[in-house]
Amino acid sequence: MMQIIKIFLILAVIVMFSGCATWRDREGNKAPEPVKSGCEYSCSYYKNNQGAYTYEVCFKECMDKKGYSKY
């Protein structure tokens, strides 16, 4: 039973970070490419040196600060 729970949690994390959703503002408009590019640039240190998880956290925080959330 514990193995099934572990597998389910791992799959849930993979789906969360797979990028299936799009970034949208409060009105439902998609985030423009310059906004996403700016966050990618500011978090590029983490992508290159710290690993994917740290990059995803940085990118999410950057997009949240700019008023976009993942739907």
DSSP assignment string, 6-22: HHHHHHHHHHHTS--S-
In a domain, 16, yes or no: no
Each residue's pLDDT tens digit, 10-66: 777 776 666 556 889 999 999 999 999 999 999 888 777 766 778 888 999 999 999
In a domain, 6, yes or no: no
Q: Which of 54, 55, 30 is nearest to 40 (CA)?
A: 55
Indicate whether this model's pTM tops 0.75: no
C-alpha 25, offset from chain centre:
15
Token digits for 3?
């193995």
In a domain, 26, yes or no: no
In a domain, 70, yes or no: yes
In a domain, 11, yes or no: no
Q: Which of 6, 9, 13, 5 is nearest to 53 (CA)?
A: 13
Please state the domain count of the chain: 1
What is the residue range of 61's domain?
32-71
In a domain, 54, yes or no: yes
Q: What is the pLDDT of residue 31?
A: 93
